Amino acid sequence: MKMNTLAASLILTGAFGLSVVSLTAAAHVHENTALDTAVSSDFRQSKNAARDTYRHPKETIAFFEIEPTDTVIELWPGGGWYAEILAPYLADKGHYIGGNFDANPKDEKQRNGYRAKAGKKFEQWLKDNQAKLGNGSTVTFDPPSFYALGDDNSADVVLTFRNLHNWAMKGYLESVFDSAYKVLKSGGTFGIVEHRSNPGMDAKTGYMDQAEMIALAKKAGFTFVESSEINANPKDTKDYAKGVWTLPPRLALDDQDKDKYLAIGESDRMTLKFTKK
């Protein structure tokens, strides 16, 4: 089982009056040359690296305690923002697996849709960069047709970044959590980063309730380890006409109040860590 630093955080909190959240986050950002190299590599697209100020990849990966030897499944890697870091980081001793869209759906309309095109593009990216990504691979994960992430008890870490609202709007979220639980080894980590709602907000806004996500993960069998404010943004008022997509990088209102939304930055996000006992 990966080491839990929460107890140490609580001890030091009482001694020095520091906040649990800030201390816990700091405790995870230990020296990790391989991670530093992956985050700072010019292999990453410059437009992606520019978002580090909002997404804090080094601190987030350290918080989830991902080791270079781990087998890590990232659900819906999309355009590969985190894959550009994780796949090279795991290339030598670990294994990166993208829980990818169905790249070859049977339905003709779906074959021409966003998901299939994005799935094919991601698979091609892995193939084109094999020398850098080692045995990085994909598994088709596209609810409701494909839920299985691999053999039971085969992964060290399952991660999802800003995807929970998509599954919630379709009624798939509980099944997704179940899939993550099944594929993880005992002691494995389930890591979540998601847009964080105010109480009572609808998933259609793109924001999700943190307490509800913790409860749902517990229902699936996970033990809640800790949360972090690494990806918090107090400037996010969460009251926009087009939901979270009003903010960058989407900027759904185009040039309307663009400077205002750029000044807010990307959304306020929960960062949650669970383990499978």
Question: Helix 83-90 vs helix 33-40: angle between axes, to the nearest 10 degrees?
Answer: 140
What confidence score (pLDDT) does residue 32 get? Answer: 84
Q: Which residues of the chain have pLDDT under 50?
A: 1, 3-25
What is d(CA 75, CA 164) in angstroms, rounded to the nearest whole number? 10
Question: Rounded distance, CA 250 to CA 196, Å?
Answer: 17
Cβ proximity of 73 and 159 under 8 Å = yes
How would you class 76 by CB atoms within 10 Å of its CB: exposed for 0-12, middle for 13-18, buried for 19 or more? Answer: buried
- The domains of the chain, with CATH numbers, are 6-275 (3.40.50.150)
Residue 43 near residue 84 (C-beta atoms within 8 A): yes
Q: What is the pLDDT of residue 123?
A: 97
* Residue 146 Ramachandran class (φ > 0 left, ψ -120 to 50 alpha, else beta): beta
Neighbours of 146 (CB within 10 A): 16
Residue 239, CB-side half-sphere exposure with 13 Å CA sphere: 3
Contact between residue 201 and residue 238 where contact means Cβ atoms under 8 Å apart: yes
Neighbours of 156 (CB within 10 A): 21
Within 8 A by CB and 6+ apart from 39, the residues are 52, 57, 58, 85
The residue whose two tokens read 């929960």 is 270
Res 108: pLDDT: 79
Amino acid at 94: G
* pLDDT per residue as tens digits for the range 88-110: 999 999 999 999 999 999 887 88
Q: Tokens 């700091």 belong to which residue? A: 26
Which is nearest to 123 in space by CA: 182, 80, 185, 65?
80
pTM over 0.85: yes
d(CA 159, CA 5): 19
Mean of the per-residue pLDDT values of the chain = 91
